[in-house]
Amino acid sequence: MAGILAGVGAFIVSAIIATGIVIGSLGVTYGNGMAPLIGVAVTFLIAPIAAIVMLFFPRTRPGAAGILIIFAAGWILLVGPCVAPMFMSYQA
């Protein structure tokens, strides 16, 4: 149970940081090109990469598994509904 709670916490913190990057870069998006999007992607990749490293150590394995489970579920729940309308608009 502690692993799942650690995953929820890591996902919430990553979402808050990514939201801050997006809001903070709204006015400078045109000058920086893809920099804000790269910042958001890196924010959501740090915790899963750390969790993969944590899987190698038996003491931190339950927490790492919880982090990876929550991040996978978060991508399905958050990104899925955002991507689906793009594919639905390409009807032949």
Check if the beta carbon of residue 51 is closer than 8 Å to that of residue 64: yes
| Unique residue bearing structure tokens 């939201």 | 19
CA distance 48 to 5: 15
**Residues 33-70: tens digit of each pLDDT:** 666 666 667 777 787 888 888 889 888 888 888 888 88
**Residues 79-92: tens digit of each pLDDT:** 777 766 766 666 55
Domain ranges of the chain: 2-80
Task: Rounding to the nearest 10 degrees, give the CA dihedral for residues 11, 17, 19, 22.
Answer: -140
